[in-house]
Structure 1
Amino acid sequence: MRALAADPGVGPIASARDLVKTYGKGEAVVRALDGVSVDLEAGELTAIMGPSGSGKSTLMHCMAGLDSPTAGSVVVAGEEVSSMSERRLTRLRRDRLGFVFQAFNLIPTLTAEENITLPLDIARRRLDRDWFDTVVDAVGLRDRLDHRPGELSGGQQQRVACARALISRPAVVFADEPTGNLDSRSSAEVLGFLRGSVDELGQAIVMVTHDPTAASYAHRVLFLADGRLVGELEDPTSESVLDALRELSPAHAQPARPGRHADDVVQGAVAR
Structure 2
Amino acid sequence: MTAQPLAPFPPHPAPGVAAATTELSKVYGSGDTRVVALDRVSIGFREGEFTAIMGPSGCGKSTLMHCAAGLDSASSGSVRIGTTELSTLNDRQLTELRRDRIGFIFQAFNLLPTLTALENITLPMDIAGRRPDQAWVQRIIGMVGLTDRLSHRPAQLSGGQQQRVAVARALASRPAIVFGDEPTGNLDSRAGAEVLGFLRDSVRELGQTVVMVTHDPVAAGYADRVVFLSDGSLVDEMVRPTPDRVLDRMKDLDTTRSPLS
TM-score, scaled to structure 2: 0.92
Please tell me whether residue 202 in structure 1 is matched to residue 204 in structure 2: no
Please tell me whether residue 48 in structure 1 is matched to residue 64 in structure 2: no
Which amino acid is 1:147 matched to?
Answer: H
Q: Structure 2 unaligned segments of length 5 or more: list them.
A: 1-5
Could you tell me which residue of structure 2 aligns to residue 12 of structure 1?
Answer: 17
Could you tell me which residue of structure 2 aligns to residue 74 of structure 1?
Answer: 79
CA offsets per residue over residues 127-152 of structure 1, 9 Å max, x none? Answer: 11101111101101101111111111
Residue aligned with 1:13, SS? strand
Residue aligned with 1:246, SS? helix
Residue aligned with 2:122, SS? helix
Equivalent-residue separation in structure 1 for 2:95 and 2:214 (angstroms): 25
Q: Is the contact between residue 221 and residue 246 of structure 2 (CA under 8 Å) also seen in structure 1? A: yes
Equivalent-residue separation in structure 2 for 1:115 and 1:12 (angstroms): 29
| Selected match of 2:67 from 62, 65, 69 | 62
Q: Is the contact between residue 22 and residue 33 of structure 1 (CA under 8 Å) also seen in structure 2? A: yes
Aligned residue pair count: 254
Q: Structure 1 unaligned segments of length 5 or more: list them.
A: 253-267
Flag the 1:224–1:107 CA change in 2: closer, same or farther, 3 A. Answer: same
Residue aligned with 1:74, SS? strand
Q: Is the contact between residue 154 and residue 162 of structure 2 (CA under 8 Å) also seen in structure 1? A: yes
Q: Give the Å deviation of 1:84.
A: 1.7
Please tell me whether residue 214 in structure 1 is matched to residue 186 in structure 2: no
CA offsets per residue over residues 43-63 of structure 1, 9 Å max, x none? Answer: 101000111210101100101
Runs of 4 or more off by more than 2 Å in structure 1?
1-5, 8-11, 246-249, 268-272
Please tell me whether residue 237 in structure 1 is matched to residue 231 in structure 2: no
Q: Is the contact between residue 117 and residue 150 of structure 2 (CA under 8 Å) also seen in structure 1? A: yes
Residue aligned with 2:17, SS? coil
Equivalent-residue separation in structure 2 for 1:73 and 1:59 (angstroms): 12
Flag the 1:102–1:24 CA change in 2: closer, same or farther, 3 A. Answer: same
Which amino acid is 1:59 matched to?
Answer: L
Please tell me whether residue 144 in structure 1 is matched to residue 154 in structure 2: no
Equivalent-residue separation in structure 1 for 2:7 and 2:107 (angstroms): 28
Flag the 1:135–1:244 CA change in 2: closer, same or farther, 3 A. Answer: same
Equivalent-residue separation in structure 2 for 1:110 and 1:12 (angstroms): 35
Equivalent-residue separation in structure 1 for 2:23 and 2:160 (angstroms): 37
Q: Give the Å deviation of 1:9.
A: 5.8
CA offsets per residue over residues 100-139 of structure 1, 9 Å max, x none? Answer: 0000111111111011000111001011110111110110
Could you tell me which residue of structure 1 aligns to residue 43 of structure 2?
Answer: 38
Please tell me whether residue 100 in structure 1 is matched to residue 99 in structure 2: no
Q: Give the Å deviation of 1:248.
A: 3.5
Could you tell me which residue of structure 2 aligns to residue 169 of structure 1?
Answer: 174
Q: Give the Å deviation of 1:82.
A: 2.6
Equivalent-residue separation in structure 2 for 1:81 and 1:44 (angstroms): 22
Equivalent-residue separation in structure 1 for 2:144 and 2:40 (angstroms): 37
Which amino acid is 2:138 matched to?
Answer: D
Q: Give the Å deviation of 1:271.
A: 9.5
